[in-house]
A = this chain, B = another copy of it.
Amino acid sequence: MAHKGELTRAKIIDQATQVFHRKGFLSTTINDLLAATGTTKGNLYFHFSGKEAVAAEVLRKAHERFRHFLETSLQGPTPGTRLENFFRQALERNRDKGFVGGCLFGNTALEASDNAPQLAALVADVFTEWIESLQETIAAAQASGEVRSDLAAADLAGFVVSALEGAIMLSRLNKREEPLVHVLDTLRRMLDLKVAESPVIIRHSPSARRRAVGEEG
């Protein structure tokens, strides 16, 4: 029975992720969740105290997947290559989604910032962790001479995340990849990113890619 409960919970989270990603947290209703998950109200409330609890669990799971994405995309023989691989994977990830849904964390940040402090805090943690990962890679790339070193790694990392979030929003709005492609190219130039050898691209398996569609980041 515990096993069945786990499965139901996982299924609710899985379906709720799609609904939240497309409609946003604020405008998703309990009825939307019931319709999407095929669950009864009693069953949903047996597993979660309400919409916000479902949303918090959706964000926690999305955070885990995003952490995995960061770990697998920030890979390569040198720090500069790791950064370049991350840029390429970020584009591929959004291209795979057809620029639908955008970034779940960015969307939630905008909705939750002034309305749902608990969700806002979860999302703030994701951004802090993302910026710290990039900062570490950028600092290493500065030390190896692959990124300009006249600006602080922390500032560059925060800048990269800001520029990517804005570009993902513009690409989603226009359903065209150009805003994101141009921002990535400009970032490479602005960082003086030099990549000595042809970067190793770590590709997600097709099934991992399918799972990522309509999810986060």
Binding site for B on A (CB under 8 A): 22-24, 26-27, 100-102, 106-107, 109-115, 120, 123-124, 127, 150-151, 155-156, 158-159, 161-167, 169-170, 172-175, 179, 182-183, 185-187, 189-190
Contacts and interface: CB of A to CB of B under 8 A. Distances in A.
B155 A115 contact: no
A186 B148 CA distance: 13
A42 B151 CA distance: 59
A158 B183 contact: yes
A44 to B, nearest CB: 20
B166 A179 contact: no
Nearest to A151: B189
Nearest to A164: B166
A183 B190 CA distance: 13
Given A106-B169, A124-B174, A127-B173, A23 B162 contact: no
B173 A124 contact: yes
A166 B161 contact: yes
22 contacts: A24-B24, A24-B27, A26-B26, A26-B27, A101-B114, A106-B110, A106-B169, A109-B172, A110-B110, A120-B173, A127-B170, A155-B185, A155-B186, A158-B183, A159-B186, A159-B187, A161-B166, A162-B170, A162-B179, A162-B183, A166-B167, A166-B169
Given A162-B167, A163-B166, A110 B102 contact: yes
Nearest to A22: B114
A81 to B, nearest CB: 22
A26 B24 CA distance: 8
Contacts of A164: 162, 166
